[in-house]
Chain A
Amino acid sequence: MATDPLPYARPRAGTQPPALYPDYASTQKRAPKRPPIRFEHTLSETTGPVFESGWAGPESADLTRQHKGSPLGERMILAGRVLDEDGKPVAGTLIELWQCNSAGRYHHPVDQHDAPLDPNFTGAGQVVTNADGGYRFLTIKPGAYPWRNSPNAWRPAHIHLAVFGPAFVTRLNTQMYFPGDPLLAYDPIYQSTADAAARERLIAEYDPELSEPEWALGYRWDMVLRGRAATPMNPA
């Protein structure tokens, strides 16, 4: 007789954003109206794609050396760990990162913001976490930029990150923000998560230990993925 896979934990109330958040205008025509169908996890949910360490080489973790010259802006290190809810490291998982340049413009044809492109900055990187769940990117600090959600709306500086984790239900697509940014109070995407402690997870910490003298500022940021719903008792 087959054993049912141990399910992953459901999010606690208010710790993830809702589908419909009217202050973020684009949710209004894209949020489903019918409640989603609750379904207990099977092998289909508790498995997911495996990315071996060869998926991303060290050069893809350094966004400042992808072109002939150096990109403009403040050089910064973004480093931390990917953990599960029990604080255990999530090793060997793929992290994909993308961001705008220091002037607040994405290297993307849809972005028509009147700010300069930087010929030395694309703004995309990948890493696979190490045995301790650790990751490290070298990049430049992204700028804030306007968007048309409401009159005179500005997105706080942010970096997009996507992580797989061990199962299809641990997939996380999120954004990292900077401490003390005055735009956070006005940003509906950041504010869409009701729980204040959960929102805090989205803000990196300035870490002088991580900064490199005469070179780059260090920001530390851990990502926490869903863990199993129940941990079997440890007989030891």
Chain B
Amino acid sequence: MADRLIPTPSQTVGPFFHLGLDHPEWSDLTAGNPGQAPLGERIVIEGQVLDGDGAPVPDALIELWQANAAGRYAHPGDTQNDKPLDPNFRGFGRAATDAEGQFRFTTVKPGPVPGRGNSLQAPHINVLLFSRGLLIHLHTRIYFEGEAANAADPLLSSIEDAAVRGTLLARREADSQGGSPAHYRFDIVMQGENETAFLDL
């Protein structure tokens, strides 16, 4: 395989990425087809991106990729034909942080998806983080606190330190208990004591 091509190196998005990448309407993953709501539980995920000083990061970009409520990805590589595709849900979202480092997405809660070796992965959303100062983007995942399937999830159960594991859990916000849609909080700490668990993919 020595003759394979070398992939192009990543470079930072810099501070001016909004010019090419920012489409505020992409932060609502449920809005793909106007007037047609995707199936599943509509949720809001909000949070803040913080740097190693605990300062808000006002120039970060977050991308989400997730399965639909039935646990199927809208991609030809997902051949789970026993699960329906949802014509009103693509599963991709993007949001830039504001001046206070805050972001907000509206989506539906994903269903569980298969893991390797016939395991089952708990409902999760795949996350990419881009910003000035990141020469290459960071990968993480959003899981949902209190989800029964979390206990057997291959990634979560591979993390021994409960505090580190906890950084991957979006927490239901108290003021939305029983409210609709449910609001979840998921902060991303790029560096330091409560640093988010990032993935080597």
Q: Which residues of A contact B (CB under 8 A)?
A: 1-2, 4-5, 9, 11-12, 15-19, 21, 24, 26-50, 83-87, 96-98, 100, 106-108, 110-111, 122-125, 158, 160, 162, 166-169, 171-175, 189-190, 192-193, 195, 197-199, 201-202, 223-227
Contact = CB atoms under 8 A, between A and B. Distances in A.
Interface of B: 4-21, 51-53, 55, 57, 59, 63, 65, 67, 73-78, 90-92, 113-118, 121, 124, 126, 128, 130-139, 141, 155, 158-159, 164, 190-192, 195-201
B155 A225 contact: no
Contacts of A166: 77
Contacts of B114: 2, 42-43
Contact of B200 (A4, A37, A168): A37
A169 B159 CA distance: 21
26 contacts: A19-B135, A24-B133, A28-B52, A29-B55, A29-B190, A30-B52, A30-B191, A31-B133, A33-B191, A33-B192, A36-B139, A43-B114, A50-B76, A83-B5, A85-B5, A96-B20, A98-B17, A110-B59, A158-B11, A160-B13, A172-B10, A174-B8, A174-B9, A175-B12, A201-B7, A202-B9
B11 A2 contact: no
Q: Which 9 A-B pairs have the closest CB atoms?
A: A98-B20, A26-B133, A49-B92, A47-B75, A17-B135, A30-B133, A36-B200, A29-B52, A175-B11
A224 B201 contact: no
Contact of B128 (A21, A160, A168): A168
Contacts of B16: 98, 100, 106, 108, 110-111
A224 B133 contact: no
A51 B19 CA distance: 20
A45 B200 contact: no
What secondary structure prevails in chain B residues at the interface with A?
A: loop
Contacts of A5: 77
Contacts of B117: 4
Nearest to A8: B201
A172 to B, nearest CB: 6
B11 A173 contact: yes
Given A24-B12, A26-B133, 6 more contacts: A43-B113, A106-B19, A110-B15, A162-B21, A224-B5, A224-B7
